[in-house]
Structure 1
């Protein structure tokens, strides 16, 4: 008989692989930005949201908050630093007004994360209580990460074009949500199930939009004035 913990570990490893793909999926977008030396009409919203999401989830996975979540720590630690790099690229190739917004958002995120870690570790003394506090915060920011592309989806509906909604990012979001929902169901963790279930829905909606508007997309059209955040 297959051990459920072994199955959960296997699913978690698959989740790490898919999450790695999710974090790397914007690479074609950033190649385009490097070539154009401009962020064009690509939006920084998903990357800024993911920085804080990865930070709180890496904290959640630490043994003094939850047990047996090493795979949660590793992938979110990697994602945290990679998304900071993506944000830096947006900062470099944006206008000054957009740079200021990116900088303010990033500083706000770092201050929030530092305060969260300090307050929880200082005033909450048991892992079970820390989990109850950090878990809902993780849900909030995970949902924010998954639904940050709503701004891009609104642009797709307005322009009937999916040129600036990368397919790989949408597909990786969908697959990532499914796998991590399965991981949490194998050893019930509502703090992982809830946001990733919603993330699966968000990814599915993006894929549906891609199918609907792919034919109406003019891939050679001139860019509209950039609207990043």
Structure 2
């Protein structure tokens, strides 16, 4: 699932040549989510969660670097990435230094909420999909792999008795199913029509 996000890089490069924009919310949310879940894995001494999210941080950074590289407004990209990094460090610093017994519990809830923002971020373009009656802004491969990924992690959370992994991934699977339903219902424009409409795409974030 994490590696599948690299398909966004191709969209960023094409958007640069067509002077259009690609929504940045999803890779930003992925970056924050990966950092928080990496720390969660370390707190729980869960090497699987830590390893997967270490990879997630690296992939997200690469995607954000490509956004910066091809952006016509690099200052905006830098500001958003620094803000995301600041939020991540505040959360990690809180759970690392806090002596409150409830701190890990609160941190776990924050991890869940950030994951849901990441998984629901493509639905921020729902209005565009409904108005155009076209789901080209939703990526089928990424969405399908996200659905499968959430099902796997939901099962993993269930097996390990971890509600903080089971609940957000169950909801995430449902959100991905909604996106797949939109793709199946509205379909996607052919390549020529997609290129013609690329300049009209709006930036979500």
Q: CA deviation at 1:130?
A: 4.4
The 5 Å alignment of 1:75-90 reads 75-90=52-67
1:124 aligns with 2:99: yes
Task: Name 1:106's counterpart in structure 2.
Answer: 81
1:164 is paired with a residue whose SS is coil
- Report the equivalent of 1:93: 70
Could you tell me the TM-score, scaled by structure 1's length? 0.79
CA distance in 2, matches of 1:154, 1:36: 20
Of structures 1 and 2, the larger Rg is shown by 1
Query: Deviation per CA, 1:30-78, whole angstroms, max 9, x where unpaired?
Result: 234335644734322111111000110000010xx213x1110111111
Equivalent of 2:10 in 21, 31, 49: 31
Whether the 8 Å CA contact 2:11–2:22 is kept in 1: the answer is no
1:220 to 188, 192, 199: 192
How well do the aligned residues superpose, as a CA RMSD in angstroms?
A: 2.1
Q: Secondary structure at the match of 1:43?
A: coil
Specify every segment of 5 or more residues in structure 1 that has no aligned partner in the other structure, as ranges.
1-21
CA offset at residue 125 of structure 1? 6.8
How far is the alpha carbon of 1:123 from its aligned partner?
2.3
Query: Matched residue of 2:168: which SS?
Result: helix
Distance 1:206 1:190, change over 3 A: same
Deviation at 1:218, TM superposition (A): 3.8
Tell me the SS of whatever aligns to 2:200. coil
Mapped to 2, the partners of 1:122 and 1:43 lie a distance apart of 35
Q: In structure 2, how many angstroms separate the alpha carbons of the residues matched to 1:147 and 1:49? A: 10
Between the aligned partners of 1:150 and 1:104, the Cα distance in structure 2 is 23
- Aligned pairs for 1:1-229 (under 5 A) are 22-34=1-13, 37-38=16-17, 40-62=20-42, 65-67=43-45, 69-96=46-73, 99-124=74-99, 129-214=102-187, 217-221=189-193, 222=196, 223-228=198-203, 229=205
Change (3 A) 1:46 1:36: closer
Quick one: distance in 2 between partners of 1:184 and 1:83? Answer: 23
Change (3 A) 1:92 1:227: farther
Distance 1:186 1:133, change over 3 A: same
- Number of residue equivalences: 200
Unpaired runs of 5+ residues, structure 2, are none
Using structure 2 for the length normalisation, give the TM-score: 0.88
Name the CA shift for 1:118/1:33 in 2 (closer, same or farther; >3 Å).
closer
